[in-house]
Amino acid sequence: MENSGTSGGVNDAKTATTITLNIKFSGRSIPVSVSPNSTVKDLKSLLQPLTNVLTRGQKLIFKGRVLADGMTLRESEITDGAKVMLMASQGLHQGGGPILKEAPTRPILREAAHANPKGNKRSEVFIDKGHLDRWKLTGVIALSECQLKVIPDEVWVCGPSARVLDLNNNFIQDVPVKIGCLSSMQKLLLSANDILDESISWEGVVSLKSLTVLSLSQNYLTMLPSALGALTSLRQLHIASNKLTSLPIQIGLMTQLEVLKANNNRISTIPTQIGDCNSLIEVEFSSNLLSELPETFSNLQNLKALHLSNNGLKSLPRNLFKMCLQLSTLDLHGTEITMDLLRQFEGWENFDERRRDKHQKQLDFRVVDSTAFDEGADKN
C-alpha cells in the first residue's frame, strides 16, 4: 500500500503546477505552495520570511535525508502533501529571531505592572487639583506606569498649555481625535501600550504641528498612514517593536527628522524617499526582513549611526561610505554582508578610520539618550 501511494504521488506531481508542502519547524506546521520544478534553494527563500531563518541557516530534511540546494523538488521525490522538517542553525536568522510561536510585544516590566496585589486592573487614576494645576503650569503631563486603560479626561483640560504627554507603559488602546486639542504638544510618548491600527486617531495626532518627538514603540501597529508626512517638525520617531511591514513614502517629507527607531518589526522594503530625510543622524532598522536598502540612503550626509543587524541584507548602497562622511557606527551583525565585500566599497578606508577613532576615544554616541536635560515626570 505504501509503495502504491508513493507512485501515485509522483505521477500527480508531474502534472501539477503547484504542490503544497507542510514544513515542520519548532512545533509549527507551515503550509507552503510551490512548483515541483522549484529547487530546494527556492523553497528556502520562501521559508525565510515565514521563519526568520536565513537560507544559509536552513537545513531541510525529507524522509531522513538532507535536501541539496540544487535539486528540484521533483528530483528529490517530494510530492503534494509531503512533510519536510526544517532545522535552523543558531544565530543565522533575521528579524527578532526564529519565529517559534506568536509572542507578545509587551515587555516583562508591563506584565508585572498588569496585576496588582488585589488582582484587579485599574483603568483610571485619581488626579487631584494639585496635579492638574502643576500640569498646566509646567506643561508636562506625567502618567507613565499608572495602569491606565484610557486617557483621563483631565488631560484634555490642559489644552494648549500641555507640551509633554507621557503615557508610556500603560494599557491604553484608544487615542481619540481630541488629542488634537493639545495643540502645543511637543512630545507625545505612548510606548508600551495596547494601541492597534483602528484605535489611534491619526487625524488627531498629525494635527499636532509642534510635535518634535513621537514614541509609539511596543504596540500592535501594522501600518503607518500617509498623513504621517504632515508632521514636518518631527525630530524623533520611535516605532520599534510593532508589526509594521512598510513605511509610507511620505516619510520623505520629514526633513527635520534626526532619529528613526524602527527595529523589531517586519519591514521588508524601505521607500526611496527616505533619502529626502537629510537631517537623519541615527537610523535603527535592526531585526526586520530587509533584503536591500535603497540607493538613496547615500543621500543622508548627516548620518552617524546605522543599525541593520539581523536582516537578510547581502549588500549596501554602493555610495554609502563615499557620501555619508559622518558615518562612524555601522551594525551589520546577523546579515550576509562580509568584511571582504565592505572593503570593495569606495570610501571604506575613511569610514574604517572614523570607526576606529571613535572606539579608541571611547566615545559614547547616543542620539536619544544624550546628557541633555530631559523633562521628567512630576509624580512626587
Q: Which of 144, 188, 213 is nearest to 370 (CA)?
A: 213
| Residue, of 359 and 299, whose pLDDT is higher | 299
User: What is the per-residue pLDDT for 133?
Assistant: 87
Q: What is the reported pLDDT for 93?
A: 73
pLDDT in tens, 137-168: 999 999 999 999 999 999 999 999 999 999 99
Q: Spell out the long-range contacts of 56-59 with Cβ–Cβ below 8 A and sequence spacing 24 or more.
A: 56/89, 56/92, 56/336, 57/88, 57/89, 57/91, 57/92, 57/93, 58/86, 58/87, 58/88, 58/89, 59/86, 59/87, 59/88, 59/89
Rounded to whole angstroms, how far apart are CA atoms 377 and 142?
5
Contact yes or no for 165/181 (Cβ under 8 A): no
- For the chain, what is the mean pLDDT? 85
More confident site: 357 or 231? 231
Q: State the pLDDT at residue 16.
A: 58
Which residue in 54, 49, 61, 56 sits closest to 23, CA to CA? 61
Fold of 108-360: 3.80.10
pLDDT at 90 over 60: yes
Rounded to the nearest 5 degrees, what angle is found at the Cα of 287, between the Cα atoms of 270 and 284? 60
Instruction: Give the pLDDT of residue 17.
Output: 86
**pLDDT tier, 121 (very low <50, low <70, confident <90, very high otherwise):** very low
pLDDT one-digit tens code per residue, 60-74: 999 989 999 999 999
Do residues 216 and 196 lie in contact, with contact meaning Cβ atoms separated by under 8 Å? no
* Residue 174 buriedness (CB in 10 A; 0-12 / 13-18 / 19+): middle
- Say yes or no to pLDDT of 265 above 80: yes
Q: Looking at the predicted structure, is the pLDDT value of residue 173 above 90?
A: yes
Confidence of residue 375 (pLDDT cuts 50, 70, 90): very low
pLDDT of residue 99: 73
Torsion of CA 316, 317, 318, 321, to 10 degrees: -80
Per the listing, cell 486639542 goes with 181
Highest mean pLDDT among 8-12, 92-96, 132-136: 132-136
CATH architecture of 2-88: Roll (3.10)
Average of per-residue pLDDT across 192-221: 96
C-alpha cell recorded at residue 273: 524617499
pLDDT tens for 36-65 read 999 999 999 889 888 888 888 899 999 989
Q: What is the mean pLDDT of residues 8-19?
A: 58
How many CB atoms are closer than 10 A to CB 277? Answer: 23
Residue-range domain boundaries for the chain: 2-88, 108-360
Predicted pLDDT at 116: 43
User: Which three three-digit cell numbers place residue 16?
Assistant: 501539477
pLDDT of residue 117: 39
Q: Which of 186, 144, 149 is nearest to 168 (CA)?
A: 144
pLDDT of residue 361: 65
How confident is the model over 29-37, as a mean pLDDT? 92
Predicted local distance difference test score (pLDDT) of residue 359: 74
pLDDT greater than 60 at residue 349: yes
Looking at residue 53, its pLDDT comes to 85
Residue pair 242/216 in contact (Cβ under 8 Å)? The answer is: yes
